[in-house]
């Protein structure tokens, strides 16, 4: 496993394990992600990639270990050497540091694009409506939907809905953006527009990105590092081209041979 980034980590994962009932799905996960870094998590289905991502913002509770984002323990507080789980209201407030874009778009169907983007900023962050609307319009224009402010999700394609979801996450000004296979539910012809928005976010936002993806071309182009997972474990970590072009582990080579042929 490669050494952690030289800069202070924005995300620090230490000894994380996750058990669902009788099944263990994450085993001793250790990973640092530096501020401003883009890390892509790749691997076969069932490898634990999405579960790990959901643990980073406490949508899934870890069974063992610890996760810190920007120095703060995720989902727990420490007192006299013991960990106490946060109340749901406290955990929800903490999640504001980590924006998440899901496989499914999770938009409010009764709200327009601009309303979806501004609702939480007004209700949760307490932004004045005029300020939230101005930034919402700016973000929708940035993702190529400046002409769709008043459109409802049912009037938008899947790719357009996902771009609204990205704008909504960015509206909250998170320090970390988590993307959980954001193109997997899209028709092939719609994938490119979403990936282009993600490229722009990676290049220009300065945010830390963790991306679960099956898009190897995107990972090669955008990721600072690639993490290959299999069977609930991190098998290999390294620079994007290092892992994708010259993987060290046979399990990584077998996976890439299957997906790139």
Count of structural domains within the chain: 1
Question: Is 239 within the bounds of a domain?
Answer: yes
- pTM of the entire structure? 0.92
Alpha-carbon distance 212 to 259, whole Å? 15
Does the residue 3 lie in any domain?
no
SS3 of 51, please?
helix
pLDDT 10s digits, 167-193: 999 999 999 999 999 999 898 888 999
Residues spanned by the domain of 113: 9-260
pLDDT digits (tens, 9 = 90+) for 9-55: 999 999 999 999 999 999 999 999 999 999 999 999 999 999 999 99
How does the average pLDDT of the chain come out, rounded? Answer: 93
- Residue 79 has phi, psi (to 5 degrees) of -140, 120
The Cα-based distances of 108 to 113, 115, 121, 230, 242 in angstroms read 9, 9, 14, 34, 41
Domain annotation covers residue 4: no
CATH number at residue 232: 3.40.50.300
- The answer to the question of residue 1 being in a domain is no
* Structure tokens belonging to residue 244: 């994708």
């Amino acid at each position: 496993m490669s050494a952690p980034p030289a800069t202070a980590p924005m995300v620090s994962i230490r000894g994380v394990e996750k058990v669902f009932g009788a099944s263990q799905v994450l085993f001793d996960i250790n990973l640092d992600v530096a501020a401003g870094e883009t890390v892509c998590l790749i691997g076969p289905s069932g490898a634990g990639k999405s579960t790990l991502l959901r643990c980073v913002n406490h949508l899934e509770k870890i069974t063992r270990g610890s996760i810190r984002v920007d120095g703060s323990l995720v989902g727990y507080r420490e007192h006299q050497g013991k960990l106490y789980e946060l109340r749901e209201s406290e955990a929800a407030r903490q999640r504001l540091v980590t924006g998440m874009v899901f496989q499914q778009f999770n938009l409010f169907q009764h709200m327009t694009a601009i309303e979806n983007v501004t609702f939480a900023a007004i209700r949760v962050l307490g932004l004045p409506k005029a300020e939230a609307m101005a930034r919402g319009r700016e973000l929708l224009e940035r993702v190529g939907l400046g002409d769709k402010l008043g459109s409802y999700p049912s009037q938008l394609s899947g790719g357009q809905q996902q771009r609204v979801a990205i704008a909504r996450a960015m509206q909250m000004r998170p320090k970390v953006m988590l993307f959980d296979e954001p193109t997997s539910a899209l028709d092939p012809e719609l994938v490119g527009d979403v990936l282009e928005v993600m490229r722009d976010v990676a290049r220009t936002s300065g945010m830390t990105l963790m991306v679960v993806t099956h898009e190897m071309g995107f990972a090669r182009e955008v990721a600072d590092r690639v993490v290959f997972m299999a069977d609930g474990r991190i098998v290999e970590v390294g620079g994007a081209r290092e892992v994708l072009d010259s993987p060290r582990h046979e399990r990584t080579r077998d996976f890439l041979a299957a997906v790139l042929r």
